Amino acid sequence: MDLGLAGRVVVVTGGASNIGRAIAQEFAREGAAVAIFDRDEAMARRTGAEIADAGGTVSVYPVDLTDVEATAAAAAAAEGDLGPVSVLVNNVGWNGTAEFFLDLTPERWEQAYRLNFFPTLNATRAVLPRMVERRDGCVISISSDAGFGEFRMSDYGGMKAGVMSFMRTLAKEYGRYGIRANSVCPGLVIPEEDAIGEQSLWRVDTKMGESQIRNIESGIPLRRRSEAVDIAWSVVFLASQQARQLTGQVLSVSGGFQMPR
9-253: CATH superfamily = NAD(P)-binding Rossmann-like Domain (3.40.50.720)
Q: How far apart are CA 19 and CA 186, in angstroms?
A: 9
At 257 the pLDDT is: 65
At 12 the pLDDT is: 98
At 189 the pLDDT is: 78
**Tens of pLDDT, residues 43-55:** 999 999 999 999 9
**Tens of pLDDT, residues 241-252:** 999 999 999 999
Q: Which sequence spans correspond to the domains of the chain?
A: 9-253
Q: Which of 61, 113, 156, 177 is catalytic?
A: 156
Half-sphere exposure of residue 257: CA atoms within 13 angstroms, side-chain side: 26
At 236 the pLDDT is: 98
Active site annotation includes 156: yes
Q: Are 90 and 13 in contact (CB under 8 A)?
A: yes
At 110 the pLDDT is: 83
Q: Are 116 and 156 in contact (CB under 8 A)?
A: yes
Residues 6+ apart with CB under 8 A from 26: 229, 232, 233, 235, 236
Residues 6+ apart with CB under 8 A from 20: 12, 13, 14, 36, 38, 89, 91, 92
Q: How far apart are CA 209 and CA 45, in angstroms?
A: 30
Low-confidence ranges of the chain (pLDDT < 70): 101, 146-149, 151-154, 193-213, 215, 217-219, 256-258, 261
At 195 the pLDDT is: 63
Half-sphere exposure of residue 260: CA atoms within 13 angstroms, side-chain side: 21
